[in-house]
Chains A and B, each alone.
Chain A
Amino acid sequence: MSGYDLVDIEVTHESADDFLDSLSEDGTDGSHLQSIQAVRLQAGQPDSELRSLKELDENAVKLLEHQVDAAYRALFEMDGKALLADEVGLGKTIEVGMILKEMHFRETDESVLILTPAQLAKQWQAELREKFGLDFVCNYDDEFEDFDAHDYIIASIDTAKSERHRQTVLDRDWDVLVLDEAHYVKNEETDRYDLIDRLSYNYAFFLTATPIQNELTDLYNVVSLLRPGLFGTRDVFHHYFVNSNQETLVNRDELQDRLNKVMIRNRREDTDIDFTDRTIDTRTFDPTPKERELYQAVSDYVKGAYSQDQGQKLVLMLLQKEVVSSPVALKKTIEKRLYDQSELTHADELESILDLIDEIDTVTKQERLLDIVEEARDNVEMGRVIVFTQFRATQQQILDRLASEGYTVHAFHGGHSSSEKEQIVEDFEEEGGILVSTDAMSEGRNLQFCNILVNLDLPWNPMRVEQRIGRVHRIGQKRDVFIFNMALKDTVEEYVLERLYHKIDLFQQSVGELSSILSRLEESGTSFEDEIFERLVAANSEVDLENDFDAVAVDLQEQRELADKLEEFNSGVFEGFDLGESDD
């Protein structure tokens, strides 16, 4: 099939008579320069299309029509200042990713600052890198120096407004500012509002699913940061758009027209997003007497050590998590502690824990894991299952065990280079079998070809759980998804699962809902993991512990209800608004 030379090329040279005839004419009036410019413009493309779209890796990111449309409008119809206010779960981050990619392509992004709630910063960083190939430094990275040392920064808004950094942030002229969860700057009297108000930038994209938190003034404040003057003064806004008796909107059409210049709001019902069902199967197992003994010993040790020295919190928390993951993970940490630190108190207690570990010959969770993967091997396409664990030692042991049982296995952890990671995912897709992964499997990895996920151990941070599930249960997943949670009876995991996650229906949240709940929690200053740990070590009895976890669950539930109410409220306010193009 080499007919390459058989297709002819015919070159025709058009006559040059036109300008040969004009050679002698006097061109002193500058019209020749204009002719050159006109010819060059005629050959040029209208500069208002998303030219970076074809640069994107289709495997890394699947773009939806409403997202492309939003990015286009924000860039070209709103002159690069927009409030992206899609309902939750429609992919506002993707829209911003596209906008930033396009600006990068057009070289209008010399300095970009993305401000997010603290716990979403790393997730933003991973998504932008993996889906759009955009490299940002996060203020939690070791390499982060200060706000004047890097050109592409993702930072928690509270770090940016802190005394240490504030001036540096303000001294710089930013090309692009992205503000996630923009409703947190609704109050004009806060430091956050002040920071954004004083920041100098050319383009800004604010994101929120709920532009209105309490009252319509919130909308005024957020929009005025983006487009000062769009709504006139605060008083004018109030008089003109708000019926002060009932706090409802008047002059809706006029408000819609003005909002149309700055705000994009897609509604779920208007998009073609459809998620498949999620089935949760939580399996709790009786630990063997030896495992129970080990769990008790570790818990006692953690409690005792923490009451004496709260500085060791992180490592104690680690031990408490490892004991339910696998004895081998626990062993590694304890040995490291024993041999690395000469002045260790309670060394004898740790030694005896090591002895208990050595006595364990059956690891219940690993045995039961075999039931699940065997079931999958018989019933699922290529027997594909993803098993998540938090610890590398556990991961290795499971890999060895599964391999010895004749399963095809793949390992995925943070130690791989990104090209290796890609290869692993590819192999898993092609060869099937079991992928055992740590939480290094972050946003952006496409695993919709698999629909069974096992949580061998459970992170205490629900966001992590959601991230794991999000790897398989995402736009593009065509089958129902099955999640297996494994926990040992009467352990912290059972509490976290039964008391917390199930009570708030964590596993049934719609995608994106959780991050809005958790950013609300963060707003109230709570770290979820700390909360769980504190309650665990402080409880005097099992009844205490149960009550404590119930209290946390109530908190979460409240936040969830608040988030739901807000969504409802915003839907209500914007109902009847056609906030898309009005030409159809």
Chain B
Amino acid sequence: MTDASISVTQSVVEQFTERYLRSIGCSIERSDDHWLVSVPDDIDTEITHGRHTLIRGEGTPDNDDERTKRLHPESAFFQQLLREAGERSPSGKLSIESESDIESPEWIQNSAVEVQGAQFTPYYDRTAIVVLFRVGIETVSEYQQELLRAVAVDTRSEESLPKLAETFLETTTVETETATSGAVQLTKTDVRPLLETARELLLESVQGQLDDIHREASRAADSEVEEYRQMQQQRIQELQEEHSNLSSKIDDLSENISRGDEDSRVQALRERKELKSEYEELDETLNELRERRDSGFPKRQREIRERHSLDVQVTPLTLTEVEYERGEIDFELIDGSIHQTVTLGYGSGIGVADTVRCSSCERELTERNPLQTILDGLKCQSCTKER
């Protein structure tokens, strides 16, 4: 699925800022390296009212003040502007016009057969919703990732319309100044189930990325578990050494007890008692550690794996009701001296909606198995090759 984000260059920043400020009622006097912006008092905006200077690009001033701000992809002012504009009108309506370029399917584009003409006859209007989702993926071992994805769903059939989502992205770049729009017809009740479908489609589409990150996170967790296991193993060895040292010290003392005079016997007895209790403590710790090791440190493993778990946050940011037209399209195909017209189901913004099969072998025509010839029906490349 296509990335819906737009790279933020200086020229895009300026284009968007100017259009937005003017649209909310500000005036701008442009000169080479700065703009003078007037924000009238009656405008509903978080930008301070009054006159401002916007310095283009990075560089001085180092710090924005009330009246002088910098305008570049990472400037605080531009970020504030984006937040405001993004929240201003999160839902709305756009139309995908039927005059938009007709695109022939890949199985024709990739073939030697030429399209001489194409005629689209719309039969009925359809509606879809396009939702822009932000997907935040977080885990301790990886940088947090944020994706922006567009999902399009037909309002009536709830079918996924990936091509329409692409068309939507193409028609909403910063270069687009206006788009036919109007009030949203759909109600909350209409939208809720569609949104649910869109969420499911979204998760399907980012599954590959999630899997990759999941795999990395699991690997990181595994190595942490392994590291812990090794550390504990080393600790067990150290304790074992200490354990046997103590044991031989106790043995030595026992010998002294049976040999020495009374004073030293008492002293040795006292020492032996202390050492024995130390020995028992050590014994207990060691046994406990061994037990935990033999069961695979379950508690620690759980903690580690929980800490490495993936937190995926899906946030719908905008919802657009899109009107498009469905109908039929006639492609006039030409191959040498042979002409043929093919009629297919088609939608503005979604392209050819029908699956077409080879008239000879019944295989589906696709980008990889394109049309080979139109002599006696539509024949695919694979079956012509086989002959």
Contact = CB atoms under 8 A, between A and B. Distances in A.
B197 interface: no
A51 B58 CA distance: 20
A20 B319 CA distance: 9
**Majority DSSP secondary structure for residues of A touching B:** mixed
Contacts of A406: none
A28 B93 CA distance: 8
Given A7-B217, A7-B309, A9-B214, 15 more contacts: A3-B225, A6-B305, A14-B316, A19-B91, A19-B317, A20-B188, A24-B183, A32-B181, A34-B20, A35-B86, A36-B318, A39-B148, A40-B148, A40-B169, A44-B8
Contacts of B19: 34
B260 interface: no
Nearest to A34: B85
B9 interface: yes
Given A36-B172, A44-B7, A12 B312 contact: yes
A353 B290 CA distance: 86
- 7 closest Cβ pairs, A-B complex: A32-B92, A27-B92, A38-B85, A43-B148, A43-B5, A46-B73, A19-B90
Contacts of B146: 43
Contacts of A418: none
Task: Place the interface of chain B in its size category.
Answer: 35 or more
Contact of A4 (B184, B195, B215): B215
Interface in A8-43: 8-14, 16, 18-20, 22-43
Contact of B320 (A14, A18, A36): A36
B357 interface: no
Contacts of B217: 7
A48 B200 CA distance: 35
17 contacts: A1-B222, A3-B218, A9-B309, A10-B311, A12-B312, A18-B90, A20-B192, A22-B89, A27-B183, A39-B134, A39-B148, A40-B148, A40-B169, A42-B82, A43-B6, A44-B8, A48-B73
Given A1-B222, A31-B23, A45-B5, A38 B310 contact: no
B31 interface: no
Contacts of B73: 46-48
A27 B91 contact: yes
Contact of B214 (A1, A7, A23, A29): A7
A32 B88 CA distance: 8
Given A7-B310, A16-B195, A40-B132, A31 B89 contact: yes
A38 B191 CA distance: 23
Interface string B92-121: 111000000000000000000000000000
Given A14-B315, A39-B86, A39-B132, A6 B221 contact: yes
B191 A40 contact: no
B79 to A, nearest CB: 8
Contacts of B148: 39-40, 43
Contacts of A34: 16, 19-20, 23, 85, 88-89
Interface residues of A, number: 45
B199 interface: yes
B184 to A, nearest CB: 5
A8 B217 CA distance: 10
A25 B188 CA distance: 12
Contacts of A7: 214, 217-218, 221, 305, 308-310
A3 B305 contact: yes
Contacts of A32: 89-94, 181, 318, 320
Listed residue (A8, A29, A42, A47) with the most chain B CB atoms within 10 angstroms of its CB: A42
B92 A33 contact: yes
A6 B310 CA distance: 11
Listed residue (B87, B146, B147) with the most chain A CB atoms within 10 angstroms of its CB: B87
A33 B94 contact: yes
B82 A41 contact: yes
Interface in A185-212: none
B257 interface: no
A580 B78 CA distance: 28
Given A34-B20, A38-B16, A28 B181 contact: yes
B6 A12 contact: no
A37 B20 CA distance: 10
B186 interface: yes
B6 A40 contact: yes
B6 A41 contact: yes
B178 interface: yes
Contacts of A33: 92, 94, 172, 176, 178-179, 181
Given A12-B314, A35-B86, A24 B184 contact: yes
Contacts of A40: 4-6, 132, 148, 169, 172
A29 B180 CA distance: 10
A45 B147 CA distance: 11
A13 B12 CA distance: 31
Interface in B158-181: 169, 172-174, 176, 178-179, 181
B309 A23 contact: no
Contact of B187 (A16, A23, A28): A23
A28 B91 CA distance: 11
Contact of A45 (B8, B188, B301): B8
Given A24-B183, A27-B181, A9 B88 contact: no
A139 B16 CA distance: 44
A167 to B, nearest CB: 34
A19 B319 contact: yes
B349 to A, nearest CB: 15
Contacts of A42: 79, 82-83, 86
Contact of B178 (A19, A20, A24, A30): A30
Contact of A27 (B10, B85, B89, B147): B89
A22 B186 CA distance: 11
Interface in A54-81: none
B313 interface: yes
B334 interface: no
Contact of A10 (B20, B132, B312): B312
B12 A41 contact: yes
B178 A46 contact: no
Contacts of B226: 1
A10 B188 contact: no
Listed residue (A6, A29, A40) with the most chain B CB atoms within 10 angstroms of its CB: A40
Interface string B113-142: 000000000000000000010100000000
B90 A44 contact: no
B174 A37 contact: yes
A220 to B, nearest CB: 24
B306 interface: yes
B182 interface: yes
A26 B89 CA distance: 9
